[in-house]
Structure 1
């Protein structure tokens, strides 16, 4: 579980995060949504320890990050997996090499132990025969699955995903959403996803945090978001005709 209390972050005169307080439960897919410039990326980087908050604190399973020693912070970071927006695979490494990279960098496992772990996670993301292919030889959806395999290869307690569906067709995006949710539940991970994809909100939004101008404007589930009367949320969610129709269906059912 991750607890966030009164988080503030500024860059010069630009006050980006303005007292955000929330929590993210393990075993659930926690989504962060909001318009561009709402503070989502800065918030995610604070959670990853890449930015230091000016005020407030972040607590990981009971441990306040700022109170940890340098060694404890380093150990905590090794418990974090990250899926980047563009997958961020190494073009010069095979699929197997990309997934094995964190094990080679941060563990003292034997070659056979690393190989067994790589085989396990590649099988889990349904990439059984892609070990020796390079990123340029596989599809965007397969690249994303490699990125997920690499993110979970060290059995992280926390999984962070930045726009995991970016550049994918709708069908593949749903497959990636479902895969992330399945892995979250199977491994009881605290998963946090930055997204603009409202299909992701509908499909896997077990907890949704809506940021606006650096503030927590709203939070709830994917069922509750279609019932809220918060104007900022409804303006964001129902910017398309499809979601306007979905909201109307919820209103009619409620009445």
Structure 2
């Protein structure tokens, strides 16, 4: 579990995060949502340790990042998996080499041990026999699955996904959502997904936090989000592309 207490982050005179307190639960898909400029990306980067907050604490288990020494922070990073918005695969590396990269960086496994693990995770994301292909030779959806395989290859305790459905068609996006949720449950890890996609909210939003201008304006799950009387949340939900399409269909039927 990740616990956040009274987190503040500023750039110059502009305060981006204004005292966020929440938890991200183990074994669940935890979503961060909100309008552009709400602080989602800054919050995610604070969780990853890429930004240092001026005030507040982030606890991984029982220990705050601020109380960790360099060795403890390094060990924590080794237990993190990250799926970047664009996949961030290395174009000059094959699928196999991309997925093996964290093992080369963080472990001292032998080549055959690394290859065995790479094949395990590629099989898990349904990419058997894709080892020798390059990112340019596979589809966008396949690239995202490679990115997920790379993120989980080193048995992470924490998985972070930044807009994992960006650039994907709706059908493929749902497949990626379901894969993230399945892996979260199978590995019993703490997964945090930064997204603006209401399809993701409906599919895998087991814990949702809604940011509004740097504050935690609402939190709940995907069944509660449609019942809230929080106007900022309902404006966000019903202004999404998904609900615009639903309204268009209803208008046509009328």
**TM-score band, normalised by shorter chain:** over 0.9
The residue number in structure 1 matching 2:155 is 155
- For normalisation by structure 1, the TM-score amounts to 0.95
Is contact 2:31–2:205 with CA below 8 Å preserved after alignment?
yes
Q: Does 1:83 align with 2:68?
A: no
Q: What TM-score does the superposition give when structure 2 sets the normalisation length?
A: 0.95
Moved over 3 A (4+): 240-247
Post-superposition shift, 1:193?
0.3
Residue of structure 2 in register with 1:207 after alignment: 207
What residue number does 1:53 align with?
53
- Residue 56 of structure 1 deviates from its aligned partner by 0.3
Is contact 2:103–2:153 with CA below 8 Å preserved after alignment?
yes
Instruction: Report the Cα distance in structure 2 between the residues aligned to 1:226 and 1:142, rounded to whole angstroms.
Output: 32
Q: 1:69 to 1:240 in 2, by over 3 A?
A: closer
How far 1:240 sits from its partner (Å)? 4.4
Equivalent residue for 1:31? Answer: 31
Q: Deviations over 1:79-121 (max 9, x none)?
A: 0000000000000000000000111111100011101100000
Work out whether 1:226 is the aligned partner of 2:237.
no
Given that 2:198 and 2:242 are in contact with CA atoms closer than 8 Å, whether structure 1 keeps it comes out as no
CA distance in 2, matches of 1:55, 1:104: 35
Equivalent-residue separation in structure 2 for 1:190 and 1:62 (angstroms): 14
Determine if the alignment matches structure 1 residue 12 to structure 2 residue 12.
yes
CA–CA distance in 1 between the matches of 2:173 and 2:245? 22
8 Å Cα contact 2:199/2:242 also seen in 1? no
Long gaps (5+) in structure 2:
248-254
Give the match's secondary structure for 2:8. strand
Distance 2:196 2:206 in 1: 16
Partner residue of 1:252?
none
Matches within 5 A, 1:32-181: 32-181=32-181
Q: CA RMSD in A?
A: 1.4
3-state SS, counterpart of residue 225 of structure 2: helix
Give the 3 Å change call, closer, same or farther, for CA 161–33 of structure 1 in structure 2. same
Structure 1 position 183 matched with structure 2 position 186: no
**What do the CA deviations read for 1:113-144 (whole angstroms, capped 9, x no partner)?**
10110000000000001000000000000000
- Report the 3-state secondary structure (helix = DSSP H, G, I; strand = E; otherwise coil) of the residue aligned with 2:175: helix
Distance 2:137 2:244 in 1: 40
Question: Secondary structure, in 3 states, of the residue corresponding to 2:159?
Answer: strand
Q: Distance in 2 between matches of 1:246 and 1:201?
A: 16
Q: How many residues of Structure 1 are paired with residues of Structure 2 in the alignment? A: 247
Q: Structure 1: 5+ residue runs without aligned partners?
A: 248-255
